[in-house]
Structure 1
Amino acid sequence: MCDLTSMLSRIRQSKLAHELLVRTARVKGVAAPHAIDATAGFGEDALLLAAAGFHVQLFEQDPVIAALLADGLSRAADNPQLSPIVARMRLTQGDSVQALRARATMDVAVPDVVYLDPMFPARQKSATVKKKFQLLHHLESPCANEEELLHAAIAAKPRKVVIKRPAKGPYLAGIKPSYSIDGKAVRYDCIVPASMKL
């Protein structure tokens, strides 16, 4: 089950500013930034972004995970604390690689951020955390084509691509980011396409 109420403590304004994802994704000078979460899963990272003021388009390829997420978003919309946040989240069940490529050829607003969390083997010490994502890992394997995913994200012409990686894991598709923000368990790599030769 996708229960976004478990995120209530993390989306308090006092804590939100310390979230590494929020710090990495922030876009200076943009009041209501637009993000695309290309690997939505259970939507927790997208919820952090939405709580920080982003309008988030979520893509989830697996139909079962997408259905669970849709149910979680629907129930969150009935929660007074979550409803104004999930109102900034829009879920699409489908292949984000195709959608990102299509955007590059369409006359649509360019996203400020494309967020990628290609699944990697869980290494958390907490058994509770492992059980929480057991279904995700069972239904959806780690990204089979990292290069295809990353290049599709860059093709959408965002201001930045933010990538979640294991703290000591390799760069996605071997591409060195513009900068990284390190945490104890995870690292957020940020690619700023305009400043890189890709």
Structure 2
Amino acid sequence: MHEGEDMAPKSVELRETDAGLTLVGDNMELRCDFEEMLPRIKPGRLQQELLVKAAKVKGAQSPTAIDCTAGLGQDSFLLAAAGFTVRMFERDETIAALLEDGLSRAGNNPVVSGIAKRMSLERGDSLRYLAALVKSDDIPPDVIYLDPMFPARQKSAAVKKKFQLLHVLENPCDEAEEETLIRAAFAAGPRKVVIKRPVKGGHLAGIKPSYSITGKAVRYDVLVPPSTKLQ
């Protein structure tokens, strides 16, 4: 295989293993395991997570969040560990199955069960829920979180294995989908919208954020509706 040639598996399959439901492709495996997140939620470490900083809402005693593009739920886990009640949406059936399995195992693990109880999963497109939320009398969430899958790098050997597998199942959002998603999020009336981006990537749908929190490899753009005063 030449340098730069696509190294992602051409096909994947789900397998039941002793460790949990596993996505297998070529010599790669992927499963949802929230116990692996424990080093990131240690006291003093969790509050340093860029996502937690970006999602923090002043004055919210029991903050709520909607993760519109949950994937394997790692970001939702961080938010739940920080005290958020998180409603997750995942439209790909295979990814949702992995997340559901990981959430079930986490609920039976006393080390992470308390966090898992603040996370719920709905299979399907978050856009339908956001549209229904606009028309309902339900209280809007404090935070809506968007993590459109990053485009694959040219040299896919540099992409983490889990993303190689996930790209087989679900492609990154195109520009039209990005704009639809962000406008639906705003219309739902959250106190802020948090968007995960590549550190040097452009703004989602070209919309300039209120502010950004930037790390070495990732950036969180925060959009605060004009009628909401958080600062």
TM over 0.5: yes
Shift of 1:82: 0.6
The partner residue of 2:91 within 58, 61, 70 is: 61
Shift of 1:138: 1.3
Q: Contact 1:97 / 1:149 at 8 angstroms: preserved in 2?
A: yes
Say whether the 8 Å CA contact 1:159–1:194 is kept in structure 2. Answer: no
Change (3 A) 1:8 1:129: farther
Distance 1:195 1:185, change over 3 A: farther
Note if 1:133 corresponds to 2:142. Answer: no
2:215 is matched with which residue?
183
Letter in 1 for 2:182: L
Q: Distance in 2 between matches of 1:134 and 1:73?
A: 22
Establish whether residue 170 from structure 1 lines up as the match of residue 181 from structure 2.
no
Gaps of 5+ in 1: none
Aligned-residue offset at 1:132: 2.3
> Do 1:2 and 1:71's aligned partners in 2 also have CA atoms closer than 8 Å?
yes
- Work out which of the residue numbers 149, 154, 173 in structure 1 matches 2:186: 154
Bigger Cα Rg:
2
Separation in structure 1 between the aligned mates of residue 87 and residue 122 of structure 2, nearest angstrom? 8
Pick aligned residue for 2:82 from 52, 68, 72: 52
Give the TM-score normalised by structure 1.
0.94
The percent identity for this pair of structures is: 64
CA distance in 2, matches of 1:47, 1:129: 22
Counterpart position of 1:89: 119
- Asked whether the equivalents of residues 178 and 191 of structure 1 are also in contact (C-alpha less than 8 Å), the reply is yes
Deviation at 1:13, TM superposition (A): 2.3
Deviations 1:51-78 (A, max 9, x none): 0000000000101100110000001111
Q: How far did 1:97 drift?
A: 1.2
Q: Aligned partners of 1:195, 1:103: CA distance in 2, in Å?
A: 18
* 1:178 alignment partner AA: S
CA–CA separation in structure 2 for the residues paired with 1:195 and 1:21: 23
Instruction: After the TM superposition, list the runs of 4 or more consecutive aligned residues in structure 1 that deviate by more than 3 angstroms.
Output: none
Which structure 2 segments of 5+ residues have no match? Answer: 1-30
- The aligned residue for residue 72 of structure 1 is 102
After TM superposition, the score normalised by the length of structure 2 is 0.81
